[in-house]
């Protein structure tokens, strides 16, 4: 056991031994202290009884949270973080325009990125992201009722060592929302090569700036959201992108129209040129009698992989048709999807899939629930005379009563070889304690008498203390 893990075990023992003190009420006549109302959560996770993770979160009054993460892996430093009303530091996740800059044409009409606020969100999970960030924010409410203005100054360091900083501004007033983001990054230059032809246009170096603007209007029936941005630097050409989402929701139907485009010179904060240049999507969802829903859609994606001499084009079209029924004790779903792909040599690949889903039992509340799903995928290419089939079958059982939840899943996948997957999980919570155990196994038949198995286990234990 190394020093870091030893410190984590010591911290666990100290907090567990202080459970009686932390859980007792304050004595009469004793004035409340600085830590009164503090919530302390200690969590431990183990993978196959080999990798140990320890997480400590302290929640103070006012919404401030402190975070400490320890792992027994070599060369792993402790991770600390803080999340307050106007301050976030440590491991962070991106939202809003931060995500749009990195993939302007990669989000569908159902993505949460359209409704997210442009900010850095703390990631205080057992396995936090490698992205580190710091954001100082300020919020003010003008005199007009229902209006809110947000200002944030941030600094980021990506997992690839790409540093960046910038400012975000947001304003909400009634049905209108506006956001602005501007930032400066320094991506890692691409490696030089002695090849005659480069595989892609690497980033030449230097600073890269980004500016983005988004606007949204929400009414009773219409929801309109649009965004656009630019990238520019001293050693690269300026590039831009834009996208718009129109949602019309009524009693008769729900219609969503999506359009996104990115120029060939736009570069993401990591210096790369996004492969996808254009993305359009039309989806329609019509309510039927009772709990029936009929949905369909058409999507088109096209782009080019940039090369120094030529560019390889990619065209992808998708067709969707689905039927769903959600009752009290029964849920049914049938979805058919077809996708056509054509590359620069006009070679075509067509994927067809049919997915059926059946759910029975207590769909809401406690009780037993069974879920079955079967998917058939067929791929047709110009070279294959006989089409190949891929089948995936899943069967799951869910049982929940009060503070106990049990899950059992079995899956069978067959393409060129067969593969079986079995997963069992138990989630138990009692008061301030919670216990999770997940067991899974992958089985690959090597021959009629030999089966290769790969077992994995995850054990998790949490405890919450309160200082009163």
Least confident of 123-127, 174-178, 389-393: 389-393
Residues 6+ apart with CB under 8 A from 31: none
Segment among 13-22, 249-258, 372-381 with least mean pLDDT: 13-22
Question: Best-predicted range by mean pLDDT among 53-62, 206-215, 246-255, 327-336?
Answer: 206-215
436-440: average pLDDT? 93
| pLDDT above 90 for 119 | yes
**At 457, is the pLDDT very low, low, confident or very high (cuts 50, 70, 90)?**
very high
Does residue 53 surpass a pLDDT of 50?
Answer: yes
What does the pLDDT read at residue 319? 87
Higher local confidence (pLDDT), 4 or 348: 348
In degrees, to the nearest 5, what angle opens at C-alpha 207 toward C-alphas 204 and 209?
Answer: 115
385 alpha carbon, distance to own chain's centre: 39
Consecutive H or E run containing 427: strand 418-430
The pLDDT of residue 377 is 83
Least confident of 36-50, 166-180, 341-355: 341-355
Please, which pLDDT band fits residue 196 given cuts at 50, 70 and 90? low
Q: Phi/psi at 431 (nearest 5 deg)?
A: 65, -120
Are 260 and 241 spatial neighbours (Cβ–Cβ below 8 Å)? yes
Which pLDDT value is given to residue 92? 95
Q: Collapsing DSSP states into helix, strand and coil, what is residue 411? A: strand
C-alpha distances (whole Å) from 191 to each of 117, 322, 352 are: 36, 47, 40
pTM, two decimal places: 0.83
**pLDDT cut 70: percent of the chain above it:** 79
Where does residue 199 rank: exposed (0-12), middle (13-18), buried (19+ CB within 10 A)? exposed
Residue 352 pLDDT grade (very low, low, confident, very high; cuts 50, 70, 90): confident
More confident residue, 199 or 392: 392
Answer whether 369's CB lies under 8 Å from 355's CB.
no
Taking residues 59-76, report their average pLDDT: 84
**Enclosing H/E stretch for 45:** strand 38-47
Structural domain boundaries in the chain: 86-240+264-273, 275-381
Q: What is the dihedral of CA 269, 273, 278, 282, to 10 degrees?
A: -40
- The 10s digit of each residue's pLDDT in 371-408 is 999 988 876 665 544 456 788 899 999 999 988 999 99
Cα separation values, 86 from 180, 436, 444, Å: 18, 34, 51
User: How far apart (Å, rounded) are the C-alpha atoms in residues 275 and 313?
Assistant: 9
How much is the mean pLDDT over the chain?
82
CA atoms of 293 and 268, how far apart (whole Å)? 38
Give the model's pLDDT for residue 23. Answer: 46
- Residue 353's contacts (CB-CB under 8 Å, 6 or more residues apart) are 336, 337, 338, 375, 376, 377, 378
Q: Say if residue 280's pLDDT is above 80.
A: yes
Residue 326 has pLDDT above 50, yes or no: yes
- Number of helices (H), then strands (E), in the chain: 3, 25
- Determine the average pLDDT of the residues in 348-372: 82
């Amino acid at each position: 056991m190394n020093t870091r893990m030893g410190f984590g075990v010591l911290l666990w023992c100290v907090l567990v031994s202080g459970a009686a003190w932390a859980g007792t009420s304050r004595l009469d006549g004793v004035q409340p202290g600085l830590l009164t109302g503090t919530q302390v959560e200690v969590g431990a996770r183990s993978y196959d009884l080999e990798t140990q993770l320890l997480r400590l979160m302290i929640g103070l009054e006012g919404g401030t949270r402190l975070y400490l993460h320890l792992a027994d892996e070599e060369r792993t430093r402790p991770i600390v973080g803080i999340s307050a009303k106007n301050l976030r530091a440590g491991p962070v996740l991106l939202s809003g325009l931060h995500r749009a800059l990195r993939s302007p044409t990669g989000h569908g009409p159902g993505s949460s990125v359209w409704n997210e606020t442009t900010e850095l969100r703390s990631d205080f999970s057992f396995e936090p992201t490698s992205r580190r960030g710091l954001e100082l924010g300020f919020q003010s409410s003008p005199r007009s009722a229902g209006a809110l203005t947000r200002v944030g100054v941030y600094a980021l360091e990506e997992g690839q060592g790409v540093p960046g900083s910038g400012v975000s501004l947001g304003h909400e007033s009634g049905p209108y929302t506006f956001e602005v983001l501007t930032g400066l990054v320094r991506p890692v230059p691409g490696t030089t090569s002695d090849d005659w032809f480069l595989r892609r246009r690497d980033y030449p170096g230097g600073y890269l700036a980004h500016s983005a603007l988004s606007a949204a209007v929400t009414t009773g029936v219409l929801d309109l959201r649009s965004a656009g941005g630019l990238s520019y630097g001293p050693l690269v050409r300026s590039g831009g992108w834009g996208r718009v989402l129109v949602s019309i929701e009524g009693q008769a139907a729900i219609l969503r129209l999506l359009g996104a485009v990115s120029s060939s010179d736009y570069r993401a904060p990591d210096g790369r040129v996004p492969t996808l240049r254009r993305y359009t999507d039309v989806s329609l969802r019509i309510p039927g009698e009772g709990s029936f829903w009929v949905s369909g859609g058409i999507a088109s994606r096209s782009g080019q992989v940039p090369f120094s001499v030529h560019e390889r084009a990619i065209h992808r079209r998708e067709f969707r048709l689905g039927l769903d029924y959600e009752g009290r004790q029964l849920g049914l779903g049938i979805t058919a999807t077809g996708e056509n792909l054509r590359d620069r040599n006009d070679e075509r690949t067509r994927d067809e899939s049919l997915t059926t889903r059946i759910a029975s039992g207590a769909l809401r509340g406690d009780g037993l629930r069974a879920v079955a799903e079967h998917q058939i995928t067929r791929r047709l290419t110009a070279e294959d005379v006989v089409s190949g089939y891929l089948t995936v079958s899943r069967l799951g059982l869910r049982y929940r009563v009060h503070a106990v939840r049990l899950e059992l899943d079995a899956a069978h996948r067959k393409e060129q070889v067969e593969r079986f997957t079995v997963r069992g999980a138990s989630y138990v919570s009692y008061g301030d304690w919670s216990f999770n155990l997940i067991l899974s196994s992958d089985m690959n038949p090597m021959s009629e008498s030999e089966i290769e198995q790969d077992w994995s286990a995850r054990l998790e234990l949490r405890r919450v203390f309160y200082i009163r």
